Amino acid sequence: MNMVQPIQVNDEEAVEFANLYSTGRKAPVWEQALVAIWFFVTYLPLNGVAPIRYMIVLYFLGITGMYYRTVVPVMLKSWPLFLLPIVGLISFTWSGYPSDAIRSGVLMLLTPLTIVAIAARLNTRQALRCLMFAGIITTIIAFRFTSTFAWGGPYGSGAKNLFAIQMLFAMLLCLAAVLNEKEFLWIRLLAAPFVPICFVFQYMANSATSLVFAVIGIVALLGMKFFWISVSQIRHLRSSVFIAAVAIVLTGAIVVLNMPENTVMQDFLRVLGKDSTFSGRSEIWRQAELISREHPFMGVGLEGFWQYDVGAAQTINENDFKPFGTKLTFHNTYWEVRVHLGYIGLSLLLLILGWCFYRAVMNWLKAPTMDHSVLLITSIIILTSTFTESYVWGTFNTLVNLFYFAAVTTLGASERRFERRVPVIRRDTA
């Protein structure tokens, strides 16, 4: 409870209005450990851990039933997250592979449901701590694969970008814990050495994009820690600064991009180690456009394209020098959804992305803590990745976990929340 607005009644008494907050519920340590294990098996999908992953998901389903009074309200408030999975599940009726579509649709539904259950049981700091531990364990395991980082390390051949972005998130989560004065000292000391380690691993993975995001993320977190949190204490100033910063960035981008003989984009891509085709992605996107024209509104259905007997998919494999039967992606979340679920699915995807990002921004503006700061930064990185990767289209992965959790974290009963203002009489005993 904190006091605001004192009103003097007489020389000895004054009325002050106090902000009354409810105390967030604390999940037991064993449940936090279970969440950390689940984050780990989704952070690093090792061979043979799928049964563990699904057993823990079953636990969260049980949590939903046992504690429906706390989980269901969060689920109802998070309704945008479930619309696309529902359409995906229904798509088995027009997919050429109905059994695969049902399986993928169920997993798509379970993904937001699991995050909602976690948000209903754990507060923001507890959940991010579990995610950080998962990243630290993954980093420790990665030491065995140092010679193969440039090809994907523990994630397998061709997955260097996935490995790099996982190290990026582990680094940012560790840095946020180090900068968080409210975190336990032993956790801050544990997290500190993994900040430079994860940065070096990104460098060894030869992922320039990840390194650029790493530098931006580090600068952003330090700025939020030593500047923004202080600014936020001054009424109305933080909103003004935020709006001014957004306006400056947008104005600068418009001016630069419209300069005569502008080569900024080419230069930027060159810095990231990319070419104007985005490492061949533009050709795949052209194929996606041709396919989506044949099924514009409803798409081909879940799992209706990347199959061994779909000629167009195998043609892309051959052009990308991949073995027959390899299950690729379009390396673009929007094309992935448009091909499989058409304009209907694309509209729902944009709703999810917009709602989640709006929630992440508002949570940060209302409470500019290190926890909400790192969730906002990772949300921006994830949104940016949707243009060149399809990770957000996936299920049970770190990008989806972070993005969804950034939106729903403050909706659970485990969060400290404002209830009402109550009058309190203060007497001058002097």
426 SS3 class: strand
Residue percentage of the chain with pLDDT more than 90: 48
Q: What does the pLDDT read at residue 342?
A: 96
The β-bridge relationship of strands 417-427 and 13-22 is: antiparallel
Phi/psi at 16 (nearest 5 deg)? -120, 140
Residue 257 pLDDT > 80: no
414 SS3 class: coil
Please say whether the beta carbons of 355 and 407 come within 8 A: yes
Q: What does the pLDDT read at residue 318?
A: 66
Residue 181 pLDDT > 60: yes
Residue 263 pLDDT > 90: no
- Which tokens in the block code for residue 193? 């050495």
Most confident of 64-73, 152-161, 250-259, 340-349: 340-349
List, for residues 43-79, the tens digit of each pLDDT value. 987 777 778 888 888 888 888 888 888 899 999 999 9
**Worst-scoring range by mean pLDDT, 50-54, 91-95, 270-274, 417-421?**
270-274
Q: What does the pLDDT read at residue 278?
A: 55
262: pLDDT confidence band, cut at 50, 70 and 90? very low
Q: Cβ-count burial of 192 within 10 angstroms (0-12 exposed, 13-18 middle, 19+ buried)? A: middle
Q: Mean pLDDT in the chain?
A: 83
Residue 11 pLDDT > 70: no
Q: What is the reported pTM?
A: 0.84
Residue 331 pLDDT > 60: yes
Q: What is the rounded average pLDDT of the residues 156-171?
A: 90
Where helices occur in 91-193 by DSSP H, the ranges are 98-121, 124-142, 160-179, 185-191
Q: How far, in Å, are 130, 383, 419 from residue 416 at the CA level?
A: 19, 28, 9
Identify the residue with better confidence: 428 or 26.
26
Q: What does the pLDDT read at residue 82?
A: 97
Identify the residue with better confidence: 217 or 240.
217
225: pLDDT confidence band, cut at 50, 70 and 90? confident
- Which tokens in the block code for residue 184? 């336990």
